[in-house]
């Protein structure tokens, strides 16, 4: 993944604050949540989520319904999701019913 991570780096990140954080996910599942390829990346994303006022997920529609090993958040943790026009009506309804802003581009 070419990601370097350490406990010190994650602790430092949790001390920062941001207005917005943009995240991606390898998998987006209704019950299993947002996942990435490994837990090292998941820990970084958890830290980023904890330091931001607005959490924005950017993902192409092919990731919906998939699960990968590294869990980092629930869909409900997101304030906004940006995806492409390939999103299914069922996913669109699920996201909107949760009160999450959905932008289809």
What is the spatial order of strands in the sheet that 80-83 belongs to? 18-23, 52-58, 80-83, 101-104
Out of 8-17, 42-51, 90-99, give the one with best mean pLDDT. 90-99
Average of per-residue pLDDT across 10-24: 86
Percentage of the chain lying above the pLDDT 70 cut: 95
pLDDT at 68: 94
Describe the crossing of helices 39-50 and 7-15 by its angle, rounded to 10 degrees. Answer: 20
What local confidence, expressed as pLDDT, does residue 4 receive? 63
**CB neighbourhood size of 27 (10 A):** 20
Give the Cα separation of 32 and 28 in Å (integer): 8
Q: Which pLDDT does position 16 carry in this prediction?
A: 81
The predicted structure's pLDDT at residue 5: 66
Is the pLDDT at 40 greater than 80, yes or no?
no
Q: What pLDDT digit, counting tens, does each position of 66-103 carry?
A: 999 999 999 999 999 999 999 999 999 999 999 999 99
Q: Can you tell me the mean pLDDT for 6-23?
A: 83
């Amino acid at each position: 993944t070419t990601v370097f991570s350490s406990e010190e780096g994650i602790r430092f990140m949790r001390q920062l604050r941001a207005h917005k954080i943009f995240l991606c996910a390898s998998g987006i599942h209704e019950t299993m949540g947002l996942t990435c390829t490994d837990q090292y990346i998941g820990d970084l994303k958890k830290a980023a989520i904890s330091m931001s006022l607005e959490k924005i997920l950017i993902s192409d529609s092919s990731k919906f319904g998939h699960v990968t090993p590294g869990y980092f958040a629930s869909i409900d943790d997101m304030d906004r999701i940006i995806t492409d026009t390939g999103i299914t009506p069922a996913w669109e309804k699920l996201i909107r019913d949760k009160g999450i802003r959905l932008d289809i581009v």
